[in-house]
Structures are given as C-alpha cells and as structure tokens.
Amino acid sequence: MPDTIALRVDGRAVDISAGSTVLAAVAIAGQQSCRRSVSGESRGPLCGMGICFECRVTIDGVQHRRACQMLCAPGMEVRTDG
C-alpha cells in the first residue's frame, strides 16, 4: 500500500496517510460538519465509533456512509452536506 492516499472532499484534493478514516480526510479538508439534520442544523461527528450516525457523508455517490468507519481509498470522492 502507498504511504499516502489522494482523494477529494467536496472537490478539494486531500493527501492523507494510508489507514486514515474518511472522517480524518473531511477534517483535513477544513470541514467540521458532515451532514444536515432533519431540521437543517449542521452536524459533525460525535461518537467516533459507528453508533451515532452523525458523520454520514456521500462516498463515490453512495449516500449515508459513516465517515468514522470507512478507511480512505485512492481516488475516493467524498461529499459532505454540512
């Protein structure tokens, strides 16, 4: 595996070390929030362990992926909605 992985978050290029989560990539892209709540509040990650679902983002067109549970892969396209 290469040491760093290149991916995009909201169109921004991010280089990140292999083994990092998508959540880390979102933070490196300068984004504190991941999604909008049902009443429109912007929300960021809470539990870091896959149970709260606050870190949901769209990865390669698939919605509702939990960023804290997904590892970065080369060429990923991540979209937040915060």
Q: Which of ligand FES, other proteins, none does residue 30 bind (CB under 5 to 8 Å by kind)?
A: none
Helical segments of the chain, H only: 22-28
Contacts of 39 (CB under 8 A, 6+ apart): none
**C-beta of 46: minimal distance to ligand FES in Å?**
5
CA distance 54 to 32: 12
Among 8, 10, 33, 58, binds other proteins (CB under 8 A): 33
Among 7, 9, 29, 45, binds other proteins (CB under 8 A): 45
Residue 9 interacting with other proteins (CB under 8 A): no
Residue 47 interacting with ligand FES (CB under 6 A): yes
**C-beta of 3: minimal distance to ligand FES in Å?**
25
Phi, psi of 70 (to 5 degrees): -110, 135
Amino acid at 11: G
Q: What's the token pair of residue 18?
A: 């292999």
